[in-house]
Amino acid sequence: MRLVHFDESTFKLDRMRKLMEHLGNPHEQVKMVHVAGTVGKGSTVAMIASILQGCGYAVGQYTSPHVTDIRERISINGDWVGKTEFTELGRQVASAAEKLDFEPTFFELITAMAFKYFAEQAVDIAVIEVGLGGRLDSTNVITPVVTVITQLDYDHVHILGRTLDKIAKEKAGIFKRGVPAFTVEQPRDAEMALKRAAEEIGAPLKVINKDIEFSYRFGASDDLGPHSRVCLITPTSQFMHLPVPLPGEHQAFNCALALAAVDALKASGFNVPEAQLHEGLAKTKLPGRMELVWNQPRILVDGAHNAASVGALMRCVGAHVPYDSMVCIFGCCDDKDKSAMLEKVALGGDKIIFTKAKGNPRAADPDELQREFAERSGKMSQVARTLPEALDLASRAVGRDDLIVVTGSFYLVGETKKYLAELDKKQVAAAR
């Protein structure tokens, strides 16, 4: 968890390339899809991987951060890397790192482990999520078959830039010459920056709803409940009225990106029969996002960790989960745009409990969060020193038809899931 200052010396792809060379360049042995963006990366990766798995392929998935176990970051067909394999990969990567004249960062090491694992297991394809930014991210040593950039917004502005065009330029660093790229409609400055970058490097970039025909509608049915359906028409495929497997209107755009990316893979030899595509898409799972983890009282967790994703969460809960009032347990990292996040929290929560995850060295001070929140909102708020205390306070404040939402960081979501799993074990043991 050592904090590393982000600059051209720490985040330099030469470092990652040297580490990869000592491991035999495993990233060159696997076909990959590369996904960057501010919000929706995890969802898009999950949908692409699930579709391809449904079509019979062995699909590697590399994501971050993890929710409850570090091994979640590296999986094949939804199965995490085993403990023994993880330990052995760590040993091999550590051994290669000893030959370097610098100390690799945590993210460089774990990315190397993922690439080595996917090569050893000879996956058919791997879907790789960018950790931070794009241009200087450790994952950017790969030359993928397809690149995807999800919705852009303000996040990590002290690192990526304080304007959307600067952020877009960093994300566009994953474009490669001749590799098809897809994005959704972005704010004007961001979209222009993406198009300029694509043109400069020679990457054919297509924008959903501009270069690719796209529409969606939100509705409800007896079997699926409230959900979105998308239509996407490409030169080679027509995807009509497909149900989006993840809740939230914003997921329609992520689903469109996933479909466009999979459609582009057909050109490089992937067989994607329509029936299997539908089945695979429908089976998409995404732990830690809009996940109901407890029934009485109802507790929902979501790792929304920037203003855009907190806003999307509040809209999504409003559309998908009926409730009388919402108690929101919130904690975030200190390096986030806390003001913007608090503004979005105030939109949904009737009462806010500020806390922090015990395992997060970068956690914001709950007292400071409450002070800032009180300045901008008249809503009730409290501070809890620990997450169990926050859950206890929330449980006593809600009735049968109310909802508790835990959000603000994956650290908080992970701690909640672990705590409730332990509680469940104790209750089962007591019942015996």
Residues 6+ apart with CB under 8 A from 259: 51, 230, 232, 237, 239, 242, 281
Residues 354-390: tens digit of each pLDDT: 999 997 888 999 999 999 999 988 899 999 999 999 9
Helical H runs in 172-250?
188-201
Return the closest-CA partner of residue 346 out of 320, 303, 377: 377
Angle between helices 274-282 and 251-266 (to 10 degrees): 140
What six digits make up the tokens of 115? 């690439």
Give the CATH superfamily of 13-282: Mur-like, catalytic domain (3.40.1190.10)
Instruction: List the 225-233 sheet strands across, edge first.
Output: 213-221, 225-233, 238-243
Q: Which letter does DSSP use for residue 162 in this model?
A: S
Show pLDDT as tens, one digit a residue, over the chain (432 residues). 344 454 555 557 999 999 999 999 999 999 999 999 999 999 999 999 999 999 999 999 999 999 999 999 999 999 999 999 999 999 999 999 999 999 999 999 999 999 999 999 999 999 999 998 899 999 999 999 999 999 998 766 666 667 899 999 999 999 999 999 999 999 999 999 999 999 999 999 999 999 999 999 988 888 888 899 999 999 999 999 999 999 988 899 999 999 999 999 998 999 999 999 999 999 999 999 999 999 999 999 999 989 999 999 999 998 889 999 999 999 999 988 899 999 999 988 899 999 999 978 889 999 999 999 999 888 999 999 999 999 999 999 999 999 999 999 999 999 999 999 999 999 888 888
Closest listed residue to residue 406, CA positions, set 335, 363, 349: 349
| Contact (Cβ atoms closer than 8 angstroms) between residue 89 and residue 116 | yes
Cis amide linkage into residue 180, ω under 30° from 0: no
Model pLDDT, residue 93: 97
In CATH, which superfamily holds the domain spanning 291-431?
Mur ligase, C-terminal domain (3.90.190.20)
The pLDDT, as a whole number, for residue 335 is 86
Structure tokens at 75: 């999986």
Percent of the chain with pLDDT over 70: 96
Q: What per-residue confidence (pLDDT) applies to 153?
A: 87
pLDDT of residue 221: 87
pLDDT tens digits, residue range 150-172? Answer: 999 876 666 666 789 999 999 99
Give the start-to-end residue ranges of the domains of the chain: 13-282, 291-431
The residues pairing with 212 across neighbouring beta strands, listed in sequence order, are: 208
SS3 55: coil
Q: The tokens 């199965």 sit on which residue? A: 79
Distance CA 135, CA 172 (A): 7
pLDDT of residue 2: 42
* Helix (H/G/I), strand (E/B), else coil: 327: strand
Q: How far apart are CA 203 and CA 239, in angstroms?
A: 24
**Sign (positive/negative) of CA torsion 396, 401, 402, 406?**
positive
